[in-house]
Amino acid sequence: MSPPLERLHSHAQQWSVTLQHHWETQTSVLASGLRRETRVVLKVTKQPGDEWHSGEVLRAFEGDGAVKLYESTPGAVLLERLDPGNDLVALVHAGNDDAATKILADVSARLANHAPPANCPTVFDWSLGFDRYLRNGSASAIPTDLVTQAAKLFKSLASSQTNPMLLHGDLQHYNVLFDSTRGWVAIDPKGVVGELEYEVGALMRNPIELPDLFTSPDIIKRRLNILIEALKLNYQRMLEWTFAQSVLSAIWDIEDGNAVGIDHPALKLAHSLNRLMNT
């Protein structure tokens, strides 16, 4: 595979994009530019992973609640440029968590009820992370009984879903941006098939740098009640999905080579949720 920057320039030529400036994240190389006087963003994913087929997912959303897709190929997408493109994190830092949660609920509603693209993973597929973790003997990082509990609950929820649909898969504060014309829209979907109660798990453990906020029982309840009012979802299933996903998120961090200890934000949330589920 060619280096990401080389692929960026190759796709720019292929899609008639005049590049202006580029920047890099941990997983991608991006560039702003123009195509026939339309402002665009070209994004190239560095290696196969969750977002390798994000173009297919964005095409399935058809611009409903998501950034518009102009072109795509595995590992690269050409997107509309959002202006000013600020995310929801600043809103939470400013003390407006309720407002941010309502925006996430609105975006989730607009993303809902779209058919998934071919070969889209399901929540059953994602549950295999529990099996890999237990099989590989990594249980020193996360208590085995917590992983076993989360795995059992996750698979029970997956087998009793109602109305599975295409979900964003990582709908949280960093992945919802503001555009002066379109309002708040989602970016960077992973794409997974599951019930809508599953979608809330990512927002419940974010913004990641504010664990004292999102692990607070009062904030957990406030967020869930806002989501219930906006989306008419099942409170208990959202609570249980969020718990199970929090443990799975910590497992994914280990698989990505990150250090995970008892103070890991997702695990702190899992313990808070566990107490709520047992009261």
Amino acid at 259: A
pLDDT of residue 137: 65
Extract the residue ranges of the chain whose pLDDT is less than 50. Answer: none
Other residues' Cβ atoms within 10 Å of the Cβ of residue 71: 17
What is the per-residue pLDDT for 136? 82
| Domains of the chain: residue spans and CATH | 4-81 (3.30.200.20), 85-277 (3.90.1200.10)
> What's the pTM value of the predicted model, to 2 decimals?
0.95
Q: So what's the pLDDT on residue 172?
A: 98
Please give the angle made by the CA atoms of 118, 119 and 120, to the nearest 5 degrees.
Answer: 95
Summarised one tens digit per residue, pLDDT across range 129-172 is 999 999 886 557 898 999 999 999 999 999 999 999 999 999 99
The Cα–Cα gap between 216 and 209 comes to: 14
User: What is the structure's pLDDT at 139?
Assistant: 59
pLDDT of 141 reads 81
Residues in the chain: 279
CA 33 to chain centre: 26
What b/e sequence results for 138-174 when a residue is b if at least 16 CB atoms lie within 10 Å of its CB, and e otherwise?
beebbeeebbebbbebbbebbeebeebbbbbbbbbbe
| Spatial CA neighbour of 42 closest among 57, 61, 23, 58 | 23
pLDDT on residue 247 = 97
Q: Which residues pair with 24 in a beta bridge?
A: 29
User: Is 201 strand, coil or helix?
Assistant: helix
What pLDDT does residue 50 have?
87
DSSP assignment of 66-120 equals: BPPEEEEETTEEEEEPPSEEEESHHHHHTT-HHHHHHHHHHHHHHH-S-PPPTT-
Tokens of 104: 């996430």
